[in-house]
Amino acid sequence: MSASTTTSTTTGREAPLRVAVIVGSVREGRQGRAVTDWFLGAAAGHDDLSFDVVDLADLDLPLVMPGWGGTPAPETVAALAGVSPRLAAADAFVVVTPEYNHSFPAALKNFVDWHHPEWQAKPVGFVSYGGLAGGIRAVEQLRLVFAELHATTVRDSVSLHGPWSGLGEDGAPRDAAVCGGAAKGMLGQLAWWGRALRTARAARPYQG
């Protein structure tokens, strides 16, 4: 079992869980980054978690993928080299997504599809926002996608309703107590699954 994945070699304490937080919107005028910043603030007390923000607006992944067995273009290889190792190193994921037309953004689906083993046997939590439903229809569809990729989605999620009413101009929810409580619950489940699956992967590599 690798000490780097489960415990600290210097203190004997369990290493922090590495969580990649994915900002799923690239739309002009988006609130995704502000919502992500709020979430990171709500998670600040979790010293056993370390966060790495992956903002899709910083990436340039094409929509056209190579055929089976093909090689991506050099510029795509370079873009993936900057982000794929970060996903591979993560123990868990949090996806921050709006809801577009009862679903999630195309840029997010494209990003998910460019990866496969990076998701396997790891937990995924969700922070969604938008409209009266708070983005939960986007989350329900993402659960199906991640199930196909052998990832485990945690039951509880954080949904921020109505960006024009439920969120302030700074992207923080107006009902901070309720939303903060939801974030705490989701992170608790994510951390449990993250540690359990990290230990399992170290003991026996996942056969996906």
Residue 98 in contact with residue 57, Cβ under 8 Å?
no
Closest-CA residue to 32 (of 58, 50, 51): 58
User: What's residue 112's pLDDT?
Assistant: 98
Q: Which two tokens stand for residue 107?
A: 């840029």
CATH number at residue 99: 3.40.50.360
Query: How many CA atoms within 13 Å lie on the side-chain side of 68?
Result: 0
- Asked whether residue 80 is assigned to any structural domain, the reply reads no
Does residue 56 lie in a domain region? Answer: yes
- Domain membership of residue 76 (yes or no) is no
Residue with tokens 């969580």: 19
**102 found inside a domain:** yes
User: What is the pLDDT, as a whole number, of residue 9?
Assistant: 43
Domain extent for 30: 15-68+90-203
Q: Is 207 helix (H, G, I), strand (E, B) or coil?
A: coil
Q: What is the dihedral of CA 81, 143, 2, 48, to 10 degrees?
A: 100
* DSSP result, 94-155: EEEEE-BTTB--HHHHHHHHT-STTTTT-EEEEEEE-TTTTTHHHHHHHHHHHHHTT-EE-S
Binning the chain into helix, strand and coil, the percentages to the nearest 5 are 40, 20, 40
Q: How far is CA 33 from the centre of its chain?
A: 13
pLDDT at 162: 65
| Alpha carbons 110 and 59: distance in angstroms, whole number | 11
If one counts the domains in the chain, the total is: 1
The pLDDT value recorded for residue 7 is 45
pLDDT at residue 175, rounded to an integer? 79
**Tens digits of pLDDT across the chain (208 residues):** 333 445 444 455 789 999 999 999 999 989 899 999 999 999 998 999 999 999 999 999 999 999 988 899 999 999 999 999 999 999 999 999 999 999 999 999 999 999 999 999 999 999 999 878 889 999 999 999 999 999 999 999 999 876 555 677 666 777 788 889 999 999 999 999 999 999 999 999 999 7
Residue 79 is assigned to a structural domain of this protein:
no
Per-residue pLDDT at 2: 38
Structure tokens at 51: 């966060």
Instruction: Give a yes or no: residue 120 inside a domain.
Output: yes
Q: Is residue 74 part of a domain?
A: no
18 vs 3: CA distance, rounded Å: 14
User: What gap in Å lies between CA 81 and CA 143, rounded to an integer?
Assistant: 26
Determine the Cα–Cα distance for residues 83 and 45; give it in Å rounded to an integer: 26
Task: Count Cβ atoms below 10 Å from residue 145 Cβ, excluding itself.
Answer: 17
